[in-house]
Structure formats: C-alpha cells, structure tokens
Amino acid sequence: MSAGPAAAPERRSASDATGGALLGACAAWALITAGVHGGSPEGVLLAVLAVAAGYAGGRICGALLPVAAPCAGALAGLGLAVTAPHLALTPSSPLGHAGATAALLILSAGAACCAAWAAGTASGRLALRLLAAGIAVAAAVLGSPVGCAGAVAVLLCSLAVARVRNRTLGIVGLAAAAVLVTGVSLAVADDALPDGLTAPLEGGLGQHRVLLWQDALGLAERDPVMGVGPGRFGEVSPVVAEDLAADGKPHSAPLQQASEQGLVGAALLAAVFCWLLYALWRSPGPTQVVLSAGAALTALTAVAAVGNALSVTTVTTGAGLLAGIATARPLNDEPRNSSLPRPR
C-alpha cells in the first residue's frame, strides 16, 4: 500500500529532526575537540546557530511570502556584497573577502531565481530573472569573477529546469558536482593531479592558497581523528606564521574541518550538505524552486571548497535562509501557475 500524501508531514518531520541532530553534532564535536586540544569553538558554534536560525526563518518567510521573501533576500544579499568591505563583514585577508563576496552574490542570484519560479505572472518572472542577471553584472563590476560565473551558472541552471518533472536526477547531479569540486581541491593539496592539470589550477588559485591547503592536509594527517582543535590552524601552520597578513585560516572549508576537527568534523560538514540536498528533495515546493536553490547552494559549496566563505556569518545565515525558503510549504498549496509541473 502506498504511503500517500498523509505520510509527507512525517517525512518532513524526520528530515527536520535529522538536520537538527546533525547541527547539534557539529556543535558538540567542536566542543569535544576544543576540550581535548584547546582552541576556540565559538566560530563553529556561531556558524551552526546562523544556519539553524536562517533555515527556521526561511521556512516561516517562505510559507508566508513565497515570492517577496526570496526577492527581499536577493536584494539584501546584493546590498551586503556591495557594502561588505565598508561594513567590515568580511575577513581582512583578500582571499577571505573575495570568497565571501562571491558567496553572497551567488546566494542572491539563487534567491532571485527562486522568487521568479514562485511568481504567478510571466512579467513577474521576467523581472526577477532580470534581477538575477543584474546580480551577475554587479559581480563583474565589483571585481568578483567567481561571483559572476556562479550567478550566471545558477541562472542558467534555473532556466534549464523549466520542464523538469523529476527532481531526483537534478539533486544527484548537484551532489556529484559538489563532490567533484571538493575532490579536485583535495587532489591539488595532495599534489595528486597530473602536471598538465596542476600548473593551471595552481596558477588560478594562487601559490599561497595551495601552500595553506598543503599545511592543512599535513595537520589532518598528523591527527586524523580529532585534528589540532577548532580555530588553531593559524597557531600551528608554518605558512601562516610566515605571513603577517594571513587571517589564520586555510581557505577551504573541508580542509579546515579536517585539520582542526579531524575526519569526523569533515564528515559532519559533508553530512550537513547532504541533509540540505535531502531536505530540498523532500520539499513540497515546485521542482524549479528546489533545483534553483540547490544550484545556488552547490555553487556556494564550490566557493567554500576553495575559499573562506563559510567563516562569514552573513554567508552561513544566507545559505540557511535560502534552503528554508525553498523547503517551505506555502500556506496556499495550490500551484500559482497550472503550467508548472507538479513536484515529484
């Protein structure tokens, strides 16, 4: 016998409970590793709180204002990206500033695309897609090629899913893309790629970033279970010690987790991303909204794999907010436009 629609709330409750448990485990493991090796778990705890608060707020706003909420989020993210250097919302390191700005612009483009698919009129969808395109242009003007490329990729993915009826393949594709980018970054740190690929990648990433990654990988190998302690990478990294302008981070979320909190910390970070994709897959919202948000979160994962974006509270809050909006159940469950395919 089929479970039917009545089982949907139970599945969503299980998904929410799983997410809460994973976020709690991230916070607990940061405290455990800090207790063993010392360090400052406050950054991890703040990031966990930011994701949880953003997700909860997004669920509420997405249910009440399925179009206005993501539109407002897109404009707010764009405004923060433009004013971030003046508001000191990003790290002082140039590497950190670039990653945080790109992440905010990508999330803003994703929110605009979600709002476009939730809009009830063709003119509204066109205006919101123009907003997403404008965010990509703004990224180019701000000197963020990564943000521009990410925003364009999110917009193209959003347009490409116009007639997609089964979101499963889309979610699987997004997960594969995230694994690919993360795997390449780890291979660069381990110098495991062929010479023909390593040189161009290192040229684009910068030698200093690659040295930080190699330091992080070495620290992870030194203590693969618990790492050196949250927030202690800058204290023990030889590369950071030689650079007065460094901000004490390896500028790669997976490598930072592995070096500071061991493989368990890295696995918890990966599990949180998998949970977000699963929550999107189970979302009652339109498939186009789900995959647009998923594309933005996957692009954010790519930026975080090669930058310091997840260390910025505005970015983690924005990621949670976008995921919450895309997984919210609108108060009016009837589709706004009967031409859109029902989610599967």
Find out whether 138 and 78 touch, Cβ atoms under 8 Å: yes
Mean pLDDT of the chain: 87
Task: Tell me which of 99 and 139 has the higher pLDDT.
Answer: 139
Is pLDDT of 338 > 50?
no
* Nearest Cα residue to 84 out of 40, 144, 153: 144
pLDDT in the model for residue 335 = 45
Is pLDDT of 19 > 70?
yes
Residue 108: strand, helix, or coil: helix
| Stretch among 6-10, 279-283, 317-321 having the lowest mean pLDDT | 6-10
pLDDT in tens, 232-261: 998 888 877 776 556 778 889 999 999 999
Q: Sort 297 into a burial class: Cβ within 10 Å, 0-12 / 13-18 / 19+.
A: buried
Other CB atoms within a 10 A radius of the CB of residue 37 amount to 18
pLDDT in the model for residue 339 = 41
- What's the whole-number mean pLDDT along residues 136-146? 93
pLDDT in the model for residue 248 = 75
Residue 100: strand, helix, or coil: helix
pLDDT in tens, 149-191: 999 999 999 999 998 888 999 999 999 999 999 999 999 998 8
- Does the pTM surpass 0.85? The reply is yes
pLDDT in tens, 102-135: 999 999 999 999 999 999 899 999 999 999 999 9
Other CB atoms within a 10 A radius of the CB of residue 281 amount to 21
Sequence-distant (6+) residues with CB within 8 A of 304 are 99, 103, 252, 253, 310
DSSP state of 205: H
